[in-house]
Chain A
């Protein structure tokens, strides 16, 4: 008790006379933030998840986790950016309580916390005020769910837990500045604890962890010998912000002061270098542009597939695909610069890298083949890959540029093994995608009058399979060599290792059966499509098992999508088999070569 009072005293001393009188959380009116204020807020560095990042990044992923979106509707239905939502929550908590931000997919969650009859259930997002009557029940149930092993929880239990976590973090945002309004509240559980935006005095090696306001208050109350002067000054500016929150221009001026006081030490510690780039990365959204361009390119591609002589349309399609790839490549390069590591180190990044390299490889094939098939495959893969990346980011709601655990923290192996194996996935998927064109084209009689078309296409598929073998085989062995250096054994039959081995076996099987004359063009294309299932199993499927040493790659929440993909590919295989049956030697109708 004495300690709590001492802390209150310290914070009062820090903020008084600037501390505003307790205003019970501010008025119900929301703030009006200038563009400049929002720009400054976006690049305000904070430490979260083991790294220093812009506040804009933190807000983006917090909102994705809470709402499944990167923007919010206020109580009146107006659209707010993530930063506007956060500033409203911090400075106008009474208004922000009424913003519908909490995503609840299953109404059974509302029933479980006795809100079923209180709120309208035909929505998927609810405000804090909507949920307030059921919060104690929500936390009680979440505590019970936590005791259930993760693998045994059902979807409603998972959603209860997720909602409880999101509400809990949101409460810390609502009460973050309560200590400014009433310094005695610094000892409250949720007050001043959410954002670590106060860089410590000294270098990052000596003092790696940044402070939250609550931690500064605690340290000051304990009489530490740390120099807390700069942090106290920042807190005074924060207090002044609360005073002028109703005046956008004055708020902007004060916010600039806060920004400069935080950025200065961050720069001195060498931790601000990539923050502006990261702000630009999320502001200019190169991945969104890439997706849009890939999507738009499908239209001229459809035209040239059916009217190959429309040259200008073909060139427009090529230009759009090239531009889409340029945006995607720029995004990957930006991510590499931000984290100072090779392009692939997380599952999310494998999606971007494989989409980009598949696109580039398809462009090379297009340059050689010039039938607009590879270009079309490139556009379709681009759209699918970026949709998967987007959906993965939304489902996870977690920072995708996070630090790596110790065993992965090696740029040498990330460059050699991971890039090589990812290129193996790329070539395998590209071969499978081209094989779709072959099988479905044969089934529906497309290019019936061009007998060499399908044979040439099958040659491209086979060649791509051969390249997949080079990268998959070398990448898998390099993975074993890495495992030998980190875990002490080359091969341990771990699920992730087995997944990579399955790809190698499948490719070797296809190539040997082709060379032995057991597979011809159609068979190779069927094998390539089945290879997509094998690649998907290795890439995502084994992560769902939740066993093995590659625990950093364990994934959940994608089982339904993955099974859907498997079924789709099985359907294509069935259609491909039907096409073979239709065009088999001796059948009444048929065209092209191969069997």
Chain B
């Protein structure tokens, strides 16, 4: 009985019918997710269609549909490829190409999963002459606490976004450390917000702090443009005295306060991660085609310093720097209207992806598999047609 159920399940998971249904759903999700980018923006669409378990949508804006999200569909498709395209496939030379192709597809899906779960993305912005060994996340926030200092290294205590992103306005979470003479109580995380002065419309009755409140805003079309907000209460351990504040991602300066005669800074900022080397931007080159504003080249001449060894390198469009599991890409520059000869900054996209080159390998395997399968079939067809004619 159990064996029969397992056999049926296996057959279903390996079936062409399942492949057809999954591919059909994926086609609808991709189509809808493409069109809705115009109104929702890429990030929201990604969350809605491609990183979700379940989607409710209207096909062509009319037909209501409830579908599994691409996350689930791709997972099932992976199972279908393994069972139907690899394990269940009859072993024969004529099917070798199909076998190789499905292995390539499975590998591509695996690389997608690895990227989704393990890849880290961020950016590094450097002015000419500036150096750095850390990059900034596009989306993730952190709260940084440090002694306020005008120079010299300081030790920062960090609270990552995962620790406070679920906090509702009336939900308080307290963070404490032996290294700090105070505790921090965080509440009311807002993914996108804007501080407003007392007297401004406040339909949500957000709490006022020092004459300001944080107004929740809808998510920005470009998720990296969201500016998060958070309420904070600083409770001194000795005196029990509490002061309240608002942390906002768009604030240029950290919140500075004094406890037991020592000044501290508190900052809600985009998460920072370290690189295993230091990058110095020596020169940024921006060329346009003559008599146009059309860019012909963006290049950053950099020096990479690793374990005291300096190495001059260049990062340009389509030629990133790959080193130590990190890849730095030329992604932006500025200021756009700077007069000739003035100082520029360069922006590098920084990616740490364990599956960085997997798609290329998968592509080679898939191409090989498809050629192995279809070329002999085509040759056989040609032979038969020649026989027919003769």
Contacts and interface: CB of A to CB of B under 8 A. Distances in A.
11 contacts: A209-B291, A403-B289, A405-B296, A467-B378, A470-B370, A470-B374, A486-B318, A488-B349, A493-B34, A505-B30, A515-B16
A516 B290 contact: no
A369 B382 CA distance: 9
Interface of B: 15-17, 19-20, 23-24, 26-27, 30-31, 33-35, 37-38, 42, 45-46, 49-50, 108, 111-112, 115, 121, 288-292, 294-298, 317-320, 327, 329, 331, 349-351, 356, 359-360, 362-363, 366-367, 370-371, 374, 377-378, 381-382, 385, 389
A463 B373 CA distance: 12
Given A480-B359, A494-B42, A515-B16, A489 B291 contact: no
A518 B327 CA distance: 45
A551 interface: no
Contact of A516 (B16, B111, B319, B389): B16
A481 B359 contact: yes
A262 to B, nearest CB: 16
A505 B23 contact: yes
A516 B20 contact: yes
Contact of A491 (B31, B112, B288, B367): B112
A409 interface: yes
Nearest to B42: A493
Contact of A410 (B318, B356, B362): B318
A127 B27 CA distance: 51
Contact of B374 (A51, A407, A467): A467
A490 B370 CA distance: 21
Contacts of A49: 289, 291-292
A508 B25 CA distance: 13
Given A403-B296, A406-B296, A516-B15, A487 B349 contact: yes
Contacts of B290: 47, 50, 208-210
Nearest to A420: B367
Contact of B121 (A463, A489, A546): A489
Interface in A475-530: 477-478, 480-482, 484-495, 498-499, 501-502, 505-506, 508-509, 512-513, 515-518
Contacts of A486: 317-318, 320, 329
Interface of A: 47-51, 196, 208-210, 368-370, 403, 405-407, 409-410, 413, 459, 463, 466-467, 469-470, 473-474, 477-478, 480-482, 484-495, 498-499, 501-502, 505-506, 508-509, 512-513, 515-518, 542, 545-548
A547 B359 CA distance: 25
Given A488-B329, A488-B331, A512-B16, A501 B359 contact: no
B298 A196 contact: no
Contacts of B363: 474, 477-478, 481
B302 to A, nearest CB: 16
B349 A370 contact: no
A548 B42 contact: yes
Contacts, number: 164
A368 B385 contact: yes
A444 to B, nearest CB: 26
Nearest to A546: B38
Contacts of A489: 115, 121, 351
B370 A485 contact: no
Given A369-B385, A474-B367, A499 B294 contact: no
A458 to B, nearest CB: 13
Of A51, A463, A498, most buried by chain B (CB within 10 Å of CB) is A498
A547 B327 CA distance: 26
B20 A509 contact: yes
Contacts of B50: 493
Contacts of B296: 50, 403, 405-406, 409
B27 A493 contact: no
A515 to B, nearest CB: 6
A482 B317 CA distance: 11
A474 B366 contact: yes
A413 B111 CA distance: 22
B294 A466 contact: no
Nearest to A459: B381
B298 A47 contact: no
A156 to B, nearest CB: 23
